[in-house]
Amino acid sequence: MSSKTTQSELEQRLLAVADDCRRSFLHSVGTLDTTLAARLSRLPPDEWADDPALAAWPQLQPQLKSLRRADAALCQWQLGLYGLCSDCEAELSHAQLLADPCRQRCDHCEEKYQKAQHASWTL
């Protein structure tokens, strides 16, 4: 987070990625359940991921995960916490954020998180 230019470049990227993510999510919902897609499109996008009806569609889960990451990153941006690891608060590098604007964790915490996720799947 060095200069203003860098900041707004990242903001643009984040907004573009979140927008793409929301658009493709709504499109996928629309191919499965048009009533649900119509209902979601009337809600604020940051409430979509909480809709319990989405649990009926396992094939949406990977996109739902991306949607939640995008929502979390946007929320962090609003709170002024964007670019900090959500576990240890280490500052993520500009390169890491450009590569994945919705990134939530530093390498170290991401690795721990993935291992924990993996362990819970195999239980």
Q: Which is nearer to Zn ion, 9 or 87 (CB)?
A: 87
Q: Which is nearer to Zn ion, 72 or 90 (CB)?
A: 90
Which residues contribute to the site for Zn ion (CB under 5 A)? Answer: 85, 87-88, 90, 106, 109
Q: State in angstroms the smallest separation of the CB of 64 from Zn ion.
A: 24
Please say whether the dihedral angle defined by the alpha carbons of residues 98, 100, 105 and 107, taken in this order, is positive or negative.
negative
Q: How many CB atoms lie within 10 A of CB 39?
A: 14
Q: Which is nearer to Zn ion, 17 or 106 (CB)?
A: 106
Q: Which is nearer to Zn ion, 19 or 89 (CB)?
A: 89
Q: State in angstroms the smallest separation of the CB of 107 from Zn ion.
A: 8
Residue 61 makes CB contacts below 8 A (sequence gap 6+) with none
Q: State in angstroms the smallest separation of the CB of 114 from Zn ion.
A: 13
H helix intervals, 33-106: 34-41, 61-79, 94-99
Q: State in angstroms the smallest separation of the CB of 38 from Zn ion.
A: 40
Helix or strand run (H / E) with residue 49: none
